[in-house]
Amino acid sequence: MSNKVFVSGNEAVAIGVKLAKPNVIAAYPITPQTIVVERLAEMVERQELNAEYMYVESEHSALSAVMGASVLGARTFTATSSQGLLYMAEVMHYASGGRVPLVMMNANRSLALPWSIFGDQRDSLAMLDSGWIQVYVEDAQESLDMIIQSYALAEHKEVLTPVMVNLDGFVLTHTYEAIEVPEEEQVDKFLPSFELKGKMDLENPKNLFFSSSPADNIRFKVQQHQAIENSRKIIEKLDKQYGEITGRSYGGLAIGYRTEDADTLLVTLGSITGQVKDVVDVLRLQGEKVGVVKIRFMRPFPEKEILELCSNAAVIGVLEKDISFGYHGTVYTNVADALKNTNKKIFNFIGGLGGKNISQQDIKKIFRRLKNIDKDTSTVNFIGLEV
Amino acid sequence: MLNKLDKKEYFYGHKGCGGCGGSLAVRLALKVLGKNTFVVLPAGCMSAVGFVYPQLCFGVNALISPFASTAAMLSGIRAAANSLNIENCNVVGFAGDGGTADIGLQALSGAIDRGDKIIYICYDNEAYMNTGVQQSSLTPYGARTTTTPPGEHIHGSRNNKKDMFEIVAAHHIKYAATASIGNIPDYIRKVEKAKNTNGTSYIHIAAPCPTGWGIDSSETIDIAREAIECGLWYLAEYEDGKYKLNKDVKEFTSVRAHLKRQGRFKHLTDKDIEKIERQRDKHIKFIKERYI
């Protein structure tokens, strides 16, 4: 049965969260995340959602609070963006090291200075090493569906790792789209209530989040790494199950669009993918063999998938909205490493910083440059700077 | 009153120093609160001495929180207990003076603001003891720490102890109290009161640290008691919007003798001691006007 609604990306997240039936919600408002927490508060007010809604005084406290709630066996939700995410940075390592299965939405937004409320992906990519699973979605429908899938993933007994769902600020958080809302019974079937083995329990007390000596520390870190490695196959499995129940699935860690015979590929992350696909369709009509590789998960990183999807292409561009100052874009660094044993030419295109629009014209130019690569083309190319 | 305490120990086998006031505050509070208790500790002495895997020293559920967010994690636990219908449980945090008055103040303020049913106990040993005795905002004037060396220019702490009890009371908290390891029956009564408070409660307990204070490990309780008798510490409560002084000391013992017993104050001059006496008189006058 279809239940279509016309909502923004933020609202799609809120609907996904409601369907996941969290016990505790704690969040601090920050643009462009705010609509998520506003909608959830309204749902609690209308008693559509039976959750404890905590009014916290900071992002640091929001994440700390949901950590405490989670180890009692509560399903939780929090959301943030930009400076708020960085303010949580310390707690993010606590949560992943403590193996707390949290789900958090991040509205991708630029970082100060210069102050900017607009979207790029420097915030979440700066937190790539925090031990969280990171997924980037393309549209409002995927936002809703990935929120639900993320709970199943975070809480999976072989994973027990927090998951961050990333939506591009404004472009996705504030744009309205028609989406299909799954039935409550469908979600319940996919996502049973949260049962945390080893939770804090009055009958069987636990001491958690402890210190460890140098002798033991690496063992815990290896287990943490292994848990994220485990998630590779579980992500695909869950997506398939979700697809069987709702009729919508997204594939694994990365997916290709018109990649089979493409000689030139552009690798993307997040909402820009849709626009690149449109450009690919246009260029295909002109006989150009171009395609897109959409990275869905930055952690675990889809090394194997990228190798496979890029196997027939000679030239690959990585288009991203971030930079690791003094080096490349972070996505490029990861993709280049995945392709290090191939003889493919790989180039980095950085744009959209501080919310600057990446136009179809810009994307066409990128493909044109990839088609006409010469010795002078530098590894890092900033787009949209032409007057 | 002591007979009412739980015979079981909930904090034992830890690596605290001999004569540690903080560990005594934790141990006694848990004997009042009993087995149905969730404990949160930030970075600090008690998490350092009690939580080294695999030697975990709490007999009740216990967690280490990020340094700044003891109170936020307590709030989260309470929210989960409410949501999951875990009834008749206590949610208590034990944070040191730095974890409370400095880095943890924001989260504490937020929790009191929400009125969450949690107990926050600050064991005040008057410096960052776990990291090797550095000044916190609760280090008293004149005290020697490793960041306030007693030389010609810095001459010990220039800080005036932040008044946490007043800060907490200004939030119109449900229940707040000062306490001291030098008066254990009073402390136990206050923990009991906090346990039965339907809202946020805060207890600020003076907990001497032999290592940081430069006293013998046998002197912890005596020096804490003496601090009350010479007027440098006081026992009070804030309840139903009203202040109450629990013990009105009519005649103070010597501040000089109290300070000179402690290695951290050895360098103080007569002028310094006179200044501390003046500060005491001013504070006691303020307390008496406000609390009696």
Residue B98's pLDDT is 97
% of residues, chain A, pLDDT over 70: 98
Local confidence band at B2 (pLDDT 50, 70, 90 cut-offs): low
Question: How far is residue B12's CA from residue B56's CA, in Å, rounded to a whole number?
Answer: 9
Residue in chain A closest to B53 (alpha carbons) equals A212
Residue B65's pLDDT is 97
Mean pLDDT in chain B? 96
Helix (H) or strand (E) holding B186: helix B184-195
Residue A375's pLDDT is 61
**Residue numbers in A near B65 (CB within 8 A):** 64, 67-68, 94, 209
Question: What is the arithmetic mean of pLDDT over A160-177?
Answer: 98
**Torsions phi, psi of B128, nearest 5?**
-80, 85
3-state SS, residue A261: coil
Question: What is the arithmetic mean of pLDDT over B23-27?
Answer: 98
Task: Tell me whether B81 touches chain A (CB under 8 Å).
Answer: yes
Task: Tell me whether A37 touches chain B (CB under 8 Å).
Answer: no
* Span B42-66, pLDDT tens digits: 999 999 999 888 889 999 999 999 9
Question: What is the arithmetic mean of pLDDT over A228-252?
Answer: 97
pLDDT above 60 (res B27): yes
pLDDT above 80 (res A182): yes
**Residue numbers in A near B76 (CB within 8 A):** 24, 26, 54, 64-70, 76
Residue A378's pLDDT is 78
pLDDT above 70 (res A387): no
Other CB atoms within 10 A of residue B269 CB: 10
Question: What is the arithmetic mean of pLDDT over B115-133?
Answer: 97
Report the residue from B35, B58, B109 with minimal CB separation from A57: B109
The one-character DSSP state at A192 is: P
* Span A12-48, pLDDT tens digits: 999 999 999 999 999 999 999 999 999 999 999 999 9
Other CB atoms within 10 A of residue A42 CB: 12
Distances (CA, A) of B217 to A35, A211, B27, B260: 56, 26, 17, 16
% of residues, chain B, pLDDT over 70: 99
* Span A291-347, pLDDT tens digits: 999 999 999 999 999 999 999 999 999 999 999 999 999 999 999 999 999 999 999
Q: Which of B39, B46, B53, B56 to mutate to test the interface with A (most CBs of A within 10 A)?
A: B53
% of residues, chain B, pLDDT over 90: 96
* Span A263-291, pLDDT tens digits: 999 999 999 999 999 999 999 999 999 99
Question: How far is residue A156's CA from residue A238's CA, in Å, rounded to a whole number?
Answer: 10
Helix (H) or strand (E) holding B176: strand B175-180
- The minimum CA-CA distance between A130 and chain B, rounded to whole Å, is 15
Residue B96's pLDDT is 98
Question: How far is residue A98's CA from residue A104's CA, in Å, rounded to a whole number?
Answer: 16
Structure tokens at B10: 């909930």
Task: Tell me whether B214 touches chain A (CB under 8 Å).
Answer: no
Q: Do residues B25 and B121 make contact, with C-beta atoms less than 8 angstroms apart?
A: yes
* Span A185-217, pLDDT tens digits: 999 999 999 999 999 999 999 999 999 989 999
Residue A222's pLDDT is 98
Residue B4's pLDDT is 78
Task: Tell me whether A208 touches chain B (CB under 8 Å).
Answer: yes
Question: What is the arithmetic mean of pLDDT over B225-253?
Answer: 97
Local confidence band at B121 (pLDDT 50, 70, 90 cut-offs): very high
* A163-168/B236-239 β-pairing: unpaired
Mean pLDDT in chain A? 96
pLDDT above 70 (res B1): no
